[in-house]
Amino acid sequence: MQKVLFVCLGNICRSPTAEGVFRREVEKRGLSDRIQVDSAGTGDYHIGKAPDRRAIAAAARRGVDLSSLRARQVSARDFEEFDWIVAMDKSNLANLQRLCPPQHREKLSLLMEHVPNAPTQEVPDPYYGDESDFEHVLDLLENAAGHLLAKVEAALSSVETGA
């Protein structure tokens, strides 16, 4: 088993979209029973809320349903529980580094660092933007999902073979 947590600020725009897009890739490859996916926010403003309606709409246009997701905040347990804790931007990553016990810090990364020759290091916050900003987030996440999944699959094989 490998467990992947996507993290942004509010857990209503980028990280639930990342969760939905990545889960679809996991399902396509028949790995749903071996790779678990979740998302959370570093902030507490939107706990319990569904994703932003613009995020739901943008994901739906690409066949990904986010409507049943609900926002939650990152908790101390997440650092124990997850194998991959993947931040959308540098500010999210800095917050995670501050909260994360030292023995788990190597689980932390920026999503775009998994993408060779990525056009940007960060998935920009679309909250104060418009529809095109949400489309841009989807473009980045759809591209990143396959690259990250290849790494998670490799880790899964080494866990399962005990290598």
* C-alpha separations of 19 from 46, 69, 158, 161, 162 in Å: 17, 9, 23, 27, 27
Other beta carbons within 10 angstroms of residue 93's beta carbon come to 23
Active site residue 139: no
**E-state strands within the chain:** 2-8, 35-41, 84-87, 108-110
Kindly name the residue from 13, 14, 24, 100 that is annotated as catalytic. 14
- 71 or 152, CB closer to ligand 4NP? 71
CB of residue 28 to ligand 4NP, shortest distance in Å: 24
45 binds ligand 4NP (CB under 6 A): yes
54 binds ligand 4NP (CB under 6 A): no
Rounded Cα–Cα distance for residues 43 and 79 (Å):
16
Would you give the binding string for ligand 4NP spanning residues 122-141, x where CB under 6 A is met?
A: ---x-x--------------
Active site residue 125: yes
Among 2, 5, 6, 8, binds ligand 4NP (CB under 6 A): 8
With CA atoms as reference, report the closest residue to 23 among 34, 13, 12: 34
11 binds ligand 4NP (CB under 6 A): yes
14 binds ligand 4NP (CB under 6 A): yes
DSSP per residue, 99-144: HS-GGGGGGEEEGGGGSTT-S-SS----TTS-HHHHHHHHHHHHHH
64 binds ligand 4NP (CB under 6 A): no
Specify the residue for token string 């725009």: 13
Active site residue 8: yes
13 binds ligand 4NP (CB under 6 A): yes
CB of residue 86 to ligand 4NP, shortest distance in Å: 13
**Residue positions annotated with a catalytic role:** 8, 14, 125
